[in-house]
Structure 1
């Protein structure tokens, strides 16, 4: 852990100043264990001249006189001075300053000494050259922290889902709280509810709300996991907290400006293809089906070329040889190499009283689809000024501008017309003879080319974040701190469906416009006390009041029937209002809070932490607005006991235990109020304005609460070369805020209620160590594994009869959301049942394809079953288990067919350095989860429809002369009404997340350059998995808690090759 911490804190920037005279001094800087220290500042006392040590802790510099005093300083170590008189070589050993090291851990509303931590907190570390590669900060969490699962495809601007210790809620968001420099910011979920005029077949891709934060500006990331750590955030910390601190200038007198410039370019390509029929295979498939149905053949195949057939006027169909079809592999045609650029610079320093950090960055990221592109520019200014001995002002400003273009579908894809679905399903033959080649009305399909040329999804966004704090030292140990934070976001999004697309052709062009404007600001008034008494008693206390408000304004309107058919030339006034002409959403939320935390330490050995927060939320009705959230935890630094030290086993041993209560008020506002919404509709050719009730209000709604227990131990062995952290936890969530289904006679589908409860329990183990550190080599290994099991305890509903494992039981349950509103998958995939894990798969159990000519079913299942199969199924149909034995297949025969929740997740890391070379590698994986392969809902069935299918599905289809028990007969369409268990696949995977090789050049006397670092990176270079889809890390329905584990046309995963350079002055 020490190596990772030092690597994160090193600033690879310095300035060389050379004067005439003096002499050359060389040397090496190590810690007390002999490990080299890179990045140590070596300065001539009283001047700004100096250098920094290289990756091996070595330095070379020229002094100004023969007796200059050199000052060696590094964060976490005590500074030392050396007189150079009579010396040309120095060997410097720096000793750890435990006070500095302990204070680098950032927690809610302050910092605590690392030794005083009693909760479960993970520090996310990454080398600078690795961190700056990522377009968003949440991607840095992948594989780097135990108990944290990150899901996303990494496409330009794509949203990610982050879960800490499982799901705490069924209907509400399970995303953690993000706090950047003390300001709470919103992530991508605020985009997720703006769909395309209510048409679930055209679901837009949710976009990442954290992309405005440049990863190169990050100093450290802390993940607060248990209630004793998160309860200080009350109702906002139920899902965990990610605290991000940005960089600032170094402390000290008159630090000369340090300039850092970086640039990189990367190339991305899809990691795998789905094996589909080519043009000839598709023509043979369609012809075979046509012949089977007694119809005319559709194509003529001759010497590997496909020709159309046309009536010659006599009723005979003959080939049209002058108009051959062109065979298209749509995956090859539309998925190409994505090229991205990233560049930026920073300058930092100090004049004694003021520390400053200023940076700017630019990113141009293009995905594997040419219309997927993000261009983003960002600026940041961090200032810290000591106005007087008692008064300090800190200001952190950031500004981001971004515009983007997206292909249809993505993180929230799943519509029957998403881009991925068209690429896979559209027929692979294109020819000038076919006048309807672009659009198939029956299948709602469009030529994938049309999605590139006649579909637009454009965004433009401005985001600003301001964090200002004023700290006043009242008396020794007592401070008052005033925090002011603002997060502003303004986003416009426009989508265009031209007449070459199914939707646009139906309505003569459709344009969809949405606007999102959000203001979020916070005021914190804090009193902080930190004193040590009699050398054994240490008190660190914080008390305060906070006020947070969030104002969101969003609009959506859709127009159609245009005169001009391009988005760039068209304006809304030229179209007529379509189905949902206007949708306005006004959301005002406020929370007023009182909070406190006290940490008491005796002899730095026994630590007690107590926190309390009381939140008053505007989302609830009077009488239910206040929620109280206490926590308590203790720690015993057993290593400080003599009987533990005398064992000569541990270098560190700390035992921790904690309990806490957190809340959740994540439902939309106004659910307790009977509000009305304005609607527009067409009557008599005119647009009419009206008002309708928005919901059935529930004034009795109250806080969803989670009670959590945590036990942990921190250990170190072999002179701190091996370090480990183990945590076990239990979480009990009650009064779930759920959207409970109600009868249609009420006029609404559901009502928000406090109903039900669930639990999560699990363990986390993290290990890292230095396995070798000699002769210029340093090798560090790390790994973590996490297990979480969530179970529904109570749903507050009446039991019903269902089948589970072939037996009828009485169970309390409700079903998830329909996956689609199209022809396929227009039913739920998940069931939420008491006693089961969250969102297990609910469908029909199967016994393969009915093939009585080659399978003796009587020998397998008995004569009675064999006779029933003969009456219920035709050869070539899927055998579906009739659980209730009524001779029919219906919803009553459904049962649990799989589980989307993993048994455990894990990550592995490797860091190697030799002289100026360094190599880092990160692997991550998931084991035990299952996935519904939604692609195969269509691709694995030879229905005979004019669309493409898997090569295997046609080649191995059941035929009377070649019966198969794997794939159905041509023309079988039972997949349109059932969810069979043969669509459930193993979702486990092991992936190379990142591997980076870098080299540090020692640059002397050249243009003031101090350090040049070049690096090459590969991301997602390989994935070991049994899943047959594009990506086992599925991205469909990221923020819909009622659809879990369904891969419904998620975008392909990509592997990336990157080269970059960093120059420090």
Structure 2
């Protein structure tokens, strides 16, 4: 008989290890009874209705099935001592011994708050009742409640402590998520997203809502510390749908929606505009521009808002297949989202393919694989910001209603030449719509595979690896027909790759029926590599090539390229201990080593601990139906933030050019930024929680109070020019967030008419504790021609990003704005600036109502925020830049200063007005929004005898149909410059649309 030659090839060694692991140590584990017992039965709900989709598993094995449409199941078990486990989301898990029975019928008890529901946590799962930390779950029904271009939009208002900040309403627009406030000044504040166990980079725009099985949000340090240096901002765990053993299923969903502008700005019509221009001329001692006959003849004029805004469709289609047997399960899904923008020329398309498979090799070995492939394409003409000369939105607001988009010969009207008072930077919006393109194409691959080995039932060894890869290409082209353009093209590409290796060992065992121990240790490696390439050109003889032939440019630009790589090496461990289901303890530790930090500071250590007491399991409360569940929780831990770029601590050389004599030479010189000796930003968090259920858990309430202190804040610090450098990065400050989270789930009515309500509200207070030498840091800067200045500030003792400027103090005798002289020196200087607003809300909230009667379902979902301010940059030129020929809101004409109206809202209409950053432009951003309302009809398939169809639902829904707010502009959900130090700014933001949708869901 031949033997393995281990020296000859490593393949033989691997094969030998595979064979060794394939056979259990205990040979009796392979002994199958000659006559296995076939157990069958029917599973129903408490009201006698068949319960399809209930998981039936032979305990401590991977053998199982699911109930069919009639609630029936059948499963072979090896012996009478076998135990069957019946489970499903929304029902209490039951374990039933087989004994000598062959027919076992089960009645599932509804678990109104899902205490037995299994939640995903870092590197594992746990029952809701066993949680010691602060974790919230968003169900797949909530995630897929209405069509969104970004799965994160579905989190808005769903979870206490989680604030969703929609930067703008553009198709595929960016979303910021803030969990328990803002921690960092210079570093990122978005949470870590983990998709099917893979720590993902950036926003999970590659996901389709219909593919999501659950989203868990880890909020306190005891839950997030297992992710160490990336857990300071919270962790969002996203799990996609997996296959289940038993009957194969097919899920199909398609919907079609129509988007529209929520409300138009009330701008002046043609006659009103001409009247305002004459008023400006009169106040400035000039002759009027228009005669009364001309003013009357202008009438309503042209509405430029109607030109750029449109009703636009949004479509989603998804198809998912799941199924499998006791050996192999699978889930395959494909989807398409197509969204045209309510601003002409903007659209977004996402194509995705998902494939999950799990294969049980034998009783000890299992293989798993998850793959998500996504193609993204974004066409955008304008997403906000800029000046009226660089923004289509700004151009449309500013364009005169007495002008038209086309000349008689069909050419574009040159608005700057229409009248002598017109600003030279006013551009016809059609230039942006028809004569420029901005297209981004991206391919995203997320692939993860795992080998799971159970040498004994209590021990699980998991070896996994994965890759995230993203390739982006951006093409910009401005044609020669664009105002004053010779033809401008640019192309940029970037490639991002992350390789992951995670290896964990988990031990889970119950001792003496009262002590349960769950221990985890692991080692992980992840690297991040980015490359980019960019080129451009100016001056083209023809627009035919677009950005596809940069070599045809008269003036080619200098190409640029780059490379960056960083590595994160980690060791982790966690212990969960439960005593008699009453006392719960959790302790975790993670050590992260990052290549980004300075020698001696490359390793960060992140411990955590938590304790919970389930008082309701004590004898004096165990059978109390009024107070059916009561748990106290407390936790502490430290997490970190990798808040610097890969090479921030290194001395780097940068290329440049210099002239010697008559020749140009290439140079390499140090950066103007001095590398710092940097430490990790560290967030220490305390959390105190209370969970209690009333009336047999028909009402369940959760409360959490937290305190987060972030130290060693990284920020740019100015250096004296004598040092040879201008700036450096240092650990300079401390920020604190503390707050209260409240959540409630209530089954108000049961029976034929069911009514469930869940809601949450969050109060968070943010404060800068310390900055470098106590010096304040100026934040967001604005330049809109009539004024250029900072509008926000960071200062000790104040919240991050408060607005900073002058306070107005009425008008002088000439109708000009006066400002308060706060320092009393008789002149208005920088020393008279003060805090004029706060973008941080006092609280934000969500309220969801689900009602069902017979075959009808009605969902109503409200979401809102209160107490936050918005700095309306758009209003500076649009209400104060007189004499430039800009259109303005109607109220500027109706309520401006005159001797007869000295307390007017607006000053005298004159070119000579002086504009400063002031509280005039700060508005109340509070709002209450009907985020979604949906009426659905579930066809009675079972009564029709259509056994091939398990579900058929038709629904109509509306998103953002009602918004209650005092904000004067398009929409209060704005954040033009992202969150944090520049939060709450509206600068020609792309409005959030309202949507009417009709859709169908089918199951087979």
Into which bin does the TM-score normalised by the smaller protein fall? 0.7 to 0.9
1:265 aligns with 2:259: no
Aligned pairs (5 A) from 1:699-714: 699-714=676-691
Residue 240 (structure 1) aligns with? 234
Residue 1036 (structure 1) aligns with? 976
Given that residues 423 and 884 in structure 2 are in contact (C-alpha distance below 8 angstroms), is that contact kept between their aligned partners in structure 1?
no
Residue 984 (structure 1) aligns with? 922
Residue 840 (structure 1) aligns with? 802
CA distance 1:681–1:389, change in 2 (3 Å): farther
Distance of 1:642 and 1:633 partners within structure 2: 24
Of 161, 165, 171 in structure 2, the residue corresponding to residue 151 of structure 1 is: 165
1:885 aligns with 2:824: yes
Residue 420 (structure 1) aligns with? 393
Offset from partner CA, 1:82-119 (integer Å, 9 cap, x none): 9xxxx9xx996225799997462111111123222111
Aligned pairs (5 A) from 1:534-573: 534-565=512-543, 568=546, 571-573=549-551
1:227 aligns with 2:234: no
CA distance 1:215–1:594, change in 2 (3 Å): same
1:511 aligns with 2:492: no
Aligned pairs (5 A) from 1:794-805: 794-798=770-774
Distance of 1:953 and 1:512 partners within structure 2: 41
Residue 767 (structure 2) aligns with? 791
Of stretches 222-231 and 395-404 in structure 1, the one that deviates more from structure 2 is 395-404
Given that residues 477 and 546 in structure 2 are in contact (C-alpha distance below 8 angstroms), is that contact kept between their aligned partners in structure 1?
no
Aligned pairs (5 A) from 1:848-997: 848-850=810-812, 874-941=813-880, 943-960=882-899, 962-972=901-911, 974=913, 976=915, 978-997=916-935
Structure 1 stretches lacking a partner, 5+ long: 1-25, 54-58, 62-69, 188-208, 308-324, 799-811, 851-873
Of 730, 747, 764 in structure 2, the residue corresponding to residue 753 of structure 1 is: 730
Offset from partner CA, 1:481-540 (integer Å, 9 cap, x none): 0111211110111122334545xx2x5222232212100121001011110011011111
Of stretches 894-903 and 509-518 in structure 1, the one that deviates more from structure 2 is 509-518
Alpha-carbon offset, residue 284 of structure 1 = 1.9
Given that residues 119 and 226 in structure 1 are in contact (C-alpha distance below 8 angstroms), is that contact kept between their aligned partners in structure 2?
yes
Residue 524 (structure 1) aligns with? 502
Residue 336 (structure 1) aligns with? 310
Residue 18 (structure 2) aligns with? none
Of 670, 673, 697 in structure 2, the residue corresponding to residue 696 of structure 1 is: 673
Of 642, 651, 658 in structure 2, the residue corresponding to residue 665 of structure 1 is: 642
Structure 2 stretches lacking a partner, 5+ long: 1-40, 74-83
Alpha-carbon offset, residue 679 of structure 1 = 4.8
Distance of 1:528 and 1:41 partners within structure 2: 27
Given that residues 320 and 333 in structure 2 are in contact (C-alpha distance below 8 angstroms), is that contact kept between their aligned partners in structure 1?
yes
Alpha-carbon offset, residue 954 of structure 1 = 2.0
Given that residues 182 and 485 in structure 1 are in contact (C-alpha distance below 8 angstroms), is that contact kept between their aligned partners in structure 2?
no
Distance of 2:302 and 2:724 partners within structure 1: 48
Residue 199 (structure 1) aligns with? none
Alpha-carbon offset, residue 914 of structure 1 = 1.1
Distance of 1:47 and 1:767 partners within structure 2: 35
SS in 1 for 2:790: coil
CA distance 1:836–1:533, change in 2 (3 Å): same
Residue 56 (structure 1) aligns with? none
SS in 1 for 2:685: strand
Residue 654 (structure 1) aligns with? 631
Distance of 2:727 and 2:720 partners within structure 1: 8
Given that residues 274 and 295 in structure 2 are in contact (C-alpha distance below 8 angstroms), is that contact kept between their aligned partners in structure 1?
no
1:211 aligns with 2:205: yes
Alpha-carbon offset, residue 140 of structure 1 = 1.4
CA distance 1:947–1:238, change in 2 (3 Å): same
Of stretches 229-238 and 121-130 in structure 1, the one that deviates more from structure 2 is 121-130
Given that residues 651 and 719 in structure 1 are in contact (C-alpha distance below 8 angstroms), is that contact kept between their aligned partners in structure 2?
yes
Alpha-carbon offset, residue 975 of structure 1 = 5.3
Alpha-carbon offset, residue 561 of structure 1 = 2.1
CA distance 1:154–1:1044, change in 2 (3 Å): closer
Given that residues 140 and 213 in structure 2 are in contact (C-alpha distance below 8 angstroms), is that contact kept between their aligned partners in structure 1?
no
SS in 1 for 2:887: coil
Distance of 2:250 and 2:595 partners within structure 1: 47
Alpha-carbon offset, residue 772 of structure 1 = 0.4
Alpha-carbon offset, residue 372 of structure 1 = 1.2
CA distance 1:966–1:576, change in 2 (3 Å): same
1:172 aligns with 2:172: no
Offset from partner CA, 1:136-168 (integer Å, 9 cap, x none): 211111000000000114431100111000001
Of 1014, 1020, 1045 in structure 1, the residue corresponding to residue 960 of structure 2 is: 1020
Distance of 2:885 and 2:283 partners within structure 1: 15
Alpha-carbon offset, residue 750 of structure 1 = 3.2
Distance of 2:917 and 2:136 partners within structure 1: 40
CA distance 1:878–1:129, change in 2 (3 Å): closer
Alpha-carbon offset, residue 796 of structure 1 = 2.0
Residue 317 (structure 1) aligns with? none
Given that residues 674 and 727 in structure 2 are in contact (C-alpha distance below 8 angstroms), is that contact kept between their aligned partners in structure 1?
no
1:429 aligns with 2:391: no
Of 776, 781, 797 in structure 2, the residue corresponding to residue 813 of structure 1 is: 776
Given that residues 511 and 567 in structure 1 are in contact (C-alpha distance below 8 angstroms), is that contact kept between their aligned partners in structure 2?
no
1:1010 aligns with 2:950: yes
State TM-score, norm by structure 2: 0.87
Residue 287 (structure 1) aligns with? 278
Offset from partner CA, 1:767-810 (integer Å, 9 cap, x none): 01101002x11100111110110111100225xxxxxxxxxxxx
Residue 361 (structure 1) aligns with? 335
Alpha-carbon offset, residue 739 of structure 1 = 1.6
Distance of 1:414 and 1:382 partners within structure 2: 47
Residue 15 (structure 1) aligns with? none
1:349 aligns with 2:363: no
SS in 2 for 1:938: helix
CA distance 1:682–1:210, change in 2 (3 Å): farther
Residue 866 (structure 1) aligns with? none
Distance of 2:55 and 2:120 partners within structure 1: 28
Given that residues 723 and 768 in structure 1 are in contact (C-alpha distance below 8 angstroms), is that contact kept between their aligned partners in structure 2?
yes
Given that residues 961 and 995 in structure 2 are in contact (C-alpha distance below 8 angstroms), is that contact kept between their aligned partners in structure 1?
yes
Offset from partner CA, 1:872-905 (integer Å, 9 cap, x none): xx52111101223333222121111111111111
Of 120, 126, 133 in structure 2, the residue corresponding to residue 119 of structure 1 is: 133
